[in-house]
Structure 1
Amino acid sequence: MTDQTPAAPGPDEAQPDDFPDDFPDDIDLDEDDYDTENEDEQDVGPPHPVNWYLLRADALEEEWYELNRWVETLRRTYGLPASVIPPFWHRHDELVWELSSLHVHWLCAYHPEQDGSAPFGWHRDFADARQRLREWVAASGTRLDRDRPTRQTTWPGEDPADPVEDVFVADRDRDFVDYVAAQVAERRAAEDAFFAGADPATGEVLG
């Protein structure tokens, strides 16, 4: 004799008693209609270049920390010496722009919309970037445990450049945090002055 007893529902199957009394009987419970895992996610495509001059204060802080995390991963992944990526790269605009460009290039190369050969192209460009980084580091004079501003050439009619001196830095991470905080505060002050109609240089309200 065949057992016609219906199988017990699984733990994920809803029971009639689980629904309220006024629940519509004719509603179509299609699981595909209730897949909201990626409902609010939008594919924005590969990232655009970062223009550090135009970032608002909050975005500036976010970009600084994102770039710092990526550079830390990069130097450890490839065992890069301080002659390529020095600890105080954040204090040198030429290094920031080079590393930022390399970062965006990496994000684009490994974006899901890219083809399989894109990472190979990134590594080829990475070799060129390492050579440029060596040149920037050598020209700036920044070292493993100390730093100094990149020397500036004084053009005719300009005031003489400030003397360049080495500064010993004991804690690189603390130096980075303090430096970024100062950069963000300066950018925020400029924003506040702009929206207040003030001269960013003097703080004097115009008009």
Structure 2
Amino acid sequence: MSGAPIDIGHESFEQAFGQLGGPLHWPSLSPAEADAALEELAPWVEALVVRFAIEPRVIPPCWAKHRAMVEILSALRDHERASYAETAGLTAPVDWMRALHDATVMLTDATAKTQCSIGEHRDGLLHSWAAAPNGDPSAPLSS
């Protein structure tokens, strides 16, 4: 069959997933870079919650205030992008589904530690011997 691709009404891969780059290493980002990356990640997380009917006990509304949840979700988004790239193998989507399952377990654990709910945010548990990179354990993610 030749000719133009069939338009089935879906966004192109680039529109849906953006340009593929290397994975983000959140601790290395400046506050401004972290804010921008978080703004880019948020719509993807919201769509993920809707696509897979993910409960607040897994991803609470305050997920963006928890470094661990941000890093897990960012890694999962990067995995999805790579799994659906034109160069991905035919089994890559199944690998992504496995990663989604694993991330769900990690996110559920992280949410259980914070005890955040749909109506309440709680700061994460911090150990006295561990400090946030900026020295202020109560500082927001981008500080």
How much is the aligned-residue C-alpha RMSD, in angstroms? 2.5
Render the CA deviation track for 1:55-77: whole Å, top value 9, x for unaligned. Answer: 24553333111110100000000
Contact between 1:84 and 1:130, CA under 8 Å: does it hold in 2? Answer: yes
> Offset at 1:153?
2.2
TM-score, normalised via structure 2 length: 0.73
Within the alignment, does 1:54 sit opposite 2:24 as a pair?
Answer: no
Say which of 107, 114, 118 aligns to 1:140: 114
The whole-number CA distance in structure 2 between the counterparts of 1:150 and 1:72 is: 21
Q: Which runs of 5+ in 2 are unaligned?
A: 1-18, 130-137
Query: Which runs of structure 2 are paired with 1:1-207 in the superposition (5 Å)?
Result: 46-155=20-129, 183=142, 186=143
Size of the aligned set, in residue pairs, is: 118
- Which amino acid is 2:22 matched to? H
Structure 1 runs (4+) greater than 2 angstroms displaced: 53-62
Secondary structure at 2:89 match in 1: coil
- The change in CA–CA distance for 1:57 and 1:133 in structure 2 (over 3 A counts) is closer
Larger Rg: 1
The whole-number CA distance in structure 1 between the counterparts of 2:83 and 2:52 is: 17
- Which amino acid is 1:124 matched to? R
> Offset at 1:81?
0.3
The whole-number CA distance in structure 2 between the counterparts of 1:136 and 1:53 is: 18
> Offset at 1:94?
1.0
TM-score, normalised via structure 1 length: 0.52
> Offset at 1:49?
1.2
- Which amino acid is 1:76 matched to? V
The whole-number CA distance in structure 1 between the counterparts of 2:74 and 2:48 is: 12
Secondary structure at 1:146 match in 2: coil
Q: Which runs of 5+ in 1 are unaligned?
A: 1-44, 156-163, 165-178, 187-207
Higher alpha-carbon deviation: 59-68 or 87-96: 59-68
Counterpart residue number, 1:12? none
Structure (1 or 2) with the greater helix fraction: 2
Contact between 1:109 and 1:118, CA under 8 Å: does it hold in 2? Answer: yes
> Offset at 1:142?
1.1
